[in-house]
Amino acid sequence: MSPQLVFFLWWLLLSAMLFYPVSKLIWVLSVRRLQKKLARELNEEELLGQKRRARFLSVITSMAFAYIYMIQTFGLPNG
Protein backbone atom coordinates (compact mmCIF):
# COMPACT_ATOMS: atom_id res chain seq x y z
CA MET A 1 0.00 0.00 0.00
CA SER A 2 1.15 3.49 -0.73
CA PRO A 3 1.98 5.86 2.13
CA GLN A 4 -0.77 8.24 1.00
CA LEU A 5 -3.40 5.50 1.23
CA VAL A 6 -2.22 4.40 4.68
CA PHE A 7 -2.26 8.02 5.89
CA PHE A 8 -5.77 8.51 4.48
CA LEU A 9 -7.11 5.29 6.05
CA TRP A 10 -5.65 6.11 9.49
CA TRP A 11 -7.03 9.65 9.21
CA LEU A 12 -10.52 8.32 8.45
CA LEU A 13 -10.31 5.79 11.28
CA LEU A 14 -9.25 8.40 13.82
CA SER A 15 -11.96 10.78 12.59
CA ALA A 16 -14.59 8.08 12.98
CA MET A 17 -13.40 7.27 16.49
CA LEU A 18 -13.54 10.95 17.51
CA PHE A 19 -16.98 11.59 15.99
CA TYR A 20 -19.22 10.16 18.74
CA PRO A 21 -17.59 11.73 21.83
CA VAL A 22 -17.14 15.10 20.11
CA SER A 23 -20.75 15.02 18.92
CA LYS A 24 -22.03 14.28 22.43
CA LEU A 25 -19.89 17.02 23.95
CA ILE A 26 -21.03 19.65 21.45
CA TRP A 27 -24.66 18.57 21.85
CA VAL A 28 -24.62 18.73 25.65
CA LEU A 29 -22.93 22.13 25.70
CA SER A 30 -25.29 23.61 23.10
CA VAL A 31 -28.41 22.24 24.82
CA ARG A 32 -27.31 23.61 28.20
CA ARG A 33 -26.49 26.99 26.66
CA LEU A 34 -29.87 27.19 24.91
CA GLN A 35 -31.77 26.09 28.03
CA LYS A 36 -30.05 28.77 30.06
CA LYS A 37 -30.71 31.39 27.39
CA LEU A 38 -34.42 30.50 27.08
CA ALA A 39 -34.85 29.74 30.81
CA ARG A 40 -36.89 26.61 30.08
CA GLU A 41 -36.58 22.97 29.03
CA LEU A 42 -36.30 22.32 25.30
CA ASN A 43 -38.95 20.37 23.41
CA GLU A 44 -38.21 17.35 21.21
CA GLU A 45 -37.99 19.37 18.00
CA GLU A 46 -35.45 21.76 19.50
CA LEU A 47 -33.39 18.88 20.90
CA LEU A 48 -33.39 17.19 17.49
CA GLY A 49 -32.27 20.43 15.85
CA GLN A 50 -29.43 20.77 18.32
CA LYS A 51 -28.42 17.17 17.70
CA ARG A 52 -28.27 17.74 13.91
CA ARG A 53 -26.19 20.87 14.45
CA ALA A 54 -23.85 19.03 16.82
CA ARG A 55 -23.35 16.17 14.35
CA PHE A 56 -22.53 18.57 11.52
CA LEU A 57 -20.01 20.46 13.64
CA SER A 58 -18.60 17.18 14.94
CA VAL A 59 -17.81 15.90 11.45
CA ILE A 60 -15.84 19.02 10.61
CA THR A 61 -14.11 19.22 14.00
CA SER A 62 -13.14 15.56 14.26
CA MET A 63 -11.76 15.45 10.72
CA ALA A 64 -9.73 18.62 11.28
CA PHE A 65 -8.26 17.47 14.59
CA ALA A 66 -7.53 14.00 13.23
CA TYR A 67 -5.71 15.50 10.24
CA ILE A 68 -3.65 17.81 12.46
CA TYR A 69 -2.83 14.92 14.79
CA MET A 70 -1.74 12.70 11.89
CA ILE A 71 0.53 15.40 10.48
CA GLN A 72 2.06 16.12 13.90
CA THR A 73 2.58 12.45 14.70
CA PHE A 74 3.60 10.92 11.37
CA GLY A 75 4.26 13.89 9.11
CA LEU A 76 2.86 14.36 5.65
CA PRO A 77 2.93 11.20 3.56
CA ASN A 78 5.69 11.37 1.01
CA GLY A 79 5.25 9.48 -2.11
The beta strand positions in the chain, using DSSP E, are none
Domain layout of the chain by residue ranges:
3-74
The C-alpha angle 28, 33, 39, rounded to 5 degrees, equals 120
Q: Which helix (H) or strand (E) holds 40?
A: none
What confidence score (pLDDT) does residue 79 get? Answer: 54
21-39 tens-digit pLDDT:
999 999 999 999 999 999 9
pTM recorded for the entire structure: 0.86
* Dist CA 37 CA 35 (whole Å): 5
Q: What is the mean pLDDT of the chain?
A: 95
